[in-house]
Amino acid sequence: MTETSENLASGHRRTDRGGVAHLELCGGERRNPLSLALMQALSAELAAIAAAPAIRAVVISGEGPAFSAGHDLSELSRHRADSDAGAQFFAETFSTCSALMQAISALPQPVIAAIEGTATAAGCQLVATCDLAIAGENASFATPGVNIGLFCTTPMVALSTALQPKHALDMLLSGEMIDAPTAARIGLVNSIVAAGTAVAAALALGQKLAQKPSGVLQAGKRAYYDLRHQPVAEAYDQASKIMTQSMMQADAGEGIAAFLEKRAPLWPECAETSPRVDHDDYPDAMIHAILASVTTIALVGASPNPARPSFLVLKYLMSRGFKVVAVNPGQAGKTIAGAPVYASLVDVPGPIDMVDIFRNSDAAAMIVDEALALPTLPKYIWMQLGVRHDAAAARAEARGVTVIMNRCPKIEFGRLTGEIGWTGVNSRVISAKRPLMAPGGVQRRELA
C-alpha cells in the first residue's frame, strides 16, 4: 500500500510504501533550500514517524538537480529589514535547524539520505546527520560558508561527528566542493550508485531494513549514539548490559533458533500483525488481483519433459503474456519451452513478482526460505496443487509476502477468464466477453 501526502506550502512531499517513509524536498527549481517552514514541517513529520510503528525506515531526498543548497539565503536576507536587523529570525532559523538534525539522530528508525547533485552548507549537514547516505555518481558536497563570510558552524557539528578531524576541517576551512568518490573515501556517504538511481537504491536499502525486527534496529541505533562518545570501559559496561537484555527478548530467541535450524526467522512482531488468510478458501477477488498484477514468474521445479504438468503450466503462462523463468539446477543454462533456466532463485536476474513452486511440500519450505533471502522479496509465493506448508507460509506472510497454496495458476487463470468453461467445466464465473484469437486461431481470454 502506498500513501502520499504533499505540503506545497513548506515544500516537501511524503510517500509511505512498504514500511518506508520517503521525505522529498520539493523546491527543486531553487535547489531545495531549507527554509524555516520546511525545517519545521520536516520536524513535524519526524515526530509523527517516531510514533508510527508501521514505518521501519526513512529516506530523505531532493527533487531536481540538487539535494539541498542549505539555508534559504534569500529568506534570511529579507529579515535584515526587521527592527532587530533579523537577529530573532536568525536565532529561530538556526535553532530550528539544530533541532531538526537532533531529531534525525534521535528518531528510532534509521534515516537514509539519497543524494543527487549538490549538497551544500546545511544541505551537507543534513547528509552528515543521516544515519546512512547513498550518492549518485554526479553528487558533490561542500560547506562553502567561509566563501561568503559566514563560517558553517552548525554544519561543523555534524561533519566533526561523521568525519575524521582533518577531513572535516579541510571541507570547513577551504569551502571547496568534493565529488562523490571523495565523499565515499572520507566517510561522508556509504556508497555511490549510477547517476539518477540514488533514490531507488536508498528505497531498496530502506526495504531491506524494514524486513529486520524493528525493536532490534531501534535499540541498536540508540545504543550507537549513546555509547560512541563514552570512555571505552564505560561503553563496554553499558553494551554488555544491553546485550544481556537483548538476549532475553523474543526476537533474539527466534533469530538464534532460526539460525540453528537453518530457516528464515519468523519475527514475533510480524507474526502478531500479519494478515490472516484462510488457506482453505481463497476469494476469487484475491486470486484475480494476484494474477492481474504479476509480470515475472519464477517456476521452481520446471521440467523439460513436455508431458509433465510443470512444462504445460510454464508454456501456458508464457502464452498468456507472463514473463516466466524456470528454476532447475539440472537444466541451468538451457531453455524450457523458450524460458531461460537458472540453477536457483538467487541466480535469476532482476526482481521476481511471483515464485511458483512445483516441488513437494517439504522442499517447498526450503524454497520459501530461499525466496525470503532474496535482495528484493517476491510479492507472491504460489504452491502448486498438492503442495502445502503452513509454517513456511507463515514465515513468508510475516515478511509481507502473500502466499497461495494447493492451487494451480493455470487452472485459476482459465477459471477466472472463463476459458476452462469451454471444456464443460463449471468455472463459477459468468462472462459475456468474446474470446480473443491468438496466433493460429487459438481462442483465449484475458483477465478483466
Tell me the backbone φ, ψ of residue 189, rounded to 5 degrees.
-130, 155
* pLDDT the model gives residue 19: 86
Considering the domain boundaries, does residue 267 fall inside one?
no
Degrees, nearest 5: CA angle 30-35-36: 170
Which three three-digit cell numbers place residue 208?
531491506
Rg (CA), the chain: 27
Beta bridge partners of 203: none
- The four Cα atoms 193, 198, 204, 205 give a dihedral, to 10 degrees, of 80
Q: Are residues 205 and 298 in the same domain?
A: no
Q: In which residue are the cell numbers 512498504 written? A: 18
Tell me the residue type at 258.
Answer: A
Tell me the backbone φ, ψ of residue 152, rounded to 5 degrees.
-80, 75
Q: Are residues 15 and 90 in the same domain?
A: yes
What angle in degrees, to the nearest 10, is found between the helix axes of 87-106 and 153-162? 20
Considering the domain boundaries, does residue 235 fall inside one?
no
User: For the chain, what is the domain count?
Assistant: 2
pLDDT tier, 262 (very low <50, low <70, confident <90, very high otherwise): confident
* pLDDT the model gives residue 433: 55
Q: Structural domain of residue 183, as residue ranges?
A: 2-210
* pLDDT the model gives residue 35: 96
SS3 content of the chain, % helix, strand, coil (to 5): 45, 20, 35
Lowest mean pLDDT segment, chosen from 107-111, 181-185, 304-308, 421-425 = 421-425
CATH number at residue 134: 3.90.226.10
Nearest CA among 285, 250, 291 for reference residue 410: 291
Residues 316 and 310: their CA atoms lie apart, in Å, by 10
Residues 263 and 395: their CA atoms lie apart, in Å, by 9
**What distances in angstroms separate CA 366 from CA 98, 310, 392, 397, 428, one per listed residue?**
49, 19, 8, 15, 34
Q: In which residue are the cell numbers 532490534 written? A: 216
Mean pLDDT value across residues 177-184? 98
Q: Are residues 23 and 164 in the same domain?
A: yes
Residues 38 and 54: their CA atoms lie apart, in Å, by 24
Degrees, nearest 5: CA angle 153-155-161: 110
3-state secondary structure of 358: coil
Q: Are residues 204 and 284 in the same domain?
A: no
Tell me the residue type at 111.
Answer: V
Nearest CA among 180, 186, 154 for reference residue 67: 180
* pLDDT the model gives residue 419: 78
* pLDDT the model gives residue 289: 85
Residues 115 and 104: their CA atoms lie apart, in Å, by 16
Q: In which residue are the cell numbers 554526479 written? A: 138
pLDDT in tens, 338-391: 999 999 999 999 899 999 999 999 999 999 999 998 988 999 999 999 999 998
Q: Are residues 312 and 404 in the same domain?
A: yes
Lowest mean pLDDT segment, chosen from 99-103, 135-139, 165-169, 264-268 = 264-268
Mean pLDDT value across residues 68-88? 96
What angle in degrees, to the nearest 10, is found between the helix axes of 232-247 and 250-260? 80
Residues 255 and 201: their CA atoms lie apart, in Å, by 27
29, with CB counted inside 10 A (0-12, 13-18, 19+), is: exposed
Confidence check: pLDDT of 71 > 60: yes
Confidence check: pLDDT of 256 > 80: yes
What is the sign, positive or negative, of the torsion defined by CA atoms of 412, 413, 414, 418?
positive
* pLDDT the model gives residue 300: 97
* pLDDT the model gives residue 8: 61
pLDDT tier, 103 (very low <50, low <70, confident <90, very high otherwise): very high
Q: Could you tell me which residue, 434 or 158, shows the higher pLDDT?
A: 158
pLDDT in tens, 192-242: 999 999 999 999 999 889 888 888 999 999 999 999 999 999 999 999 999
Considering the domain boundaries, does residue 254 fall inside one?
no
Q: Are residues 199 and 308 in the same domain?
A: no
Considering the domain boundaries, does residue 256 fall inside one?
no
Q: In what order do the strands lie in the sheet with 339-342?
A: 335-336, 339-342, 323-327, 296-300, 354-357, 380-383, 402-404
3-state secondary structure string across 249-288: CHHHHHHHHHHHCCCCCCCHHHHHHCCCCCCCCCCHHHHH
* pLDDT the model gives residue 371: 94
Considering the domain boundaries, does residue 33 fall inside one?
yes
3-state secondary structure of 21: strand
Are 71 and 122 a contacting pair, CB within 8 Å? yes
* pLDDT the model gives residue 210: 87
Nearest CA among 406, 386, 372 for reference residue 262: 372
* pLDDT the model gives residue 110: 97
Considering the domain boundaries, does residue 224 fall inside one?
no
Strand locations in 98-257 (E): 111-115, 118-120, 132-136, 140-142, 178-179, 191-193
Q: Could you tell me which residue, 311 or 267, shows the higher pLDDT?
A: 311
Q: Are residues 309 and 391 in the same domain?
A: yes
**What distances in angstroms separate CA 49 from CA 42, 109, 180, 314, 333, one per listed residue?**
10, 8, 29, 44, 47
The percentage of residues in the chain with a pLDDT greater than 90, rounded to a whole number, is 73
Q: Are residues 150 and 295 in the same domain?
A: no
Q: What pTM was estimated for this model as a whole?
A: 0.66
Residues 186 and 342: their CA atoms lie apart, in Å, by 40
CATH number at residue 372: 3.40.50.720
Q: Could you tell me which residue, 282 or 314, shows the higher pLDDT?
A: 314
pLDDT in tens, 402-443: 999 999 999 999 888 877 665 555 555 555 555 554 555 545
Q: Which of 210, 232, 255 is the last residue of a domain?
A: 210
Considering the domain boundaries, does residue 434 fall inside one?
yes
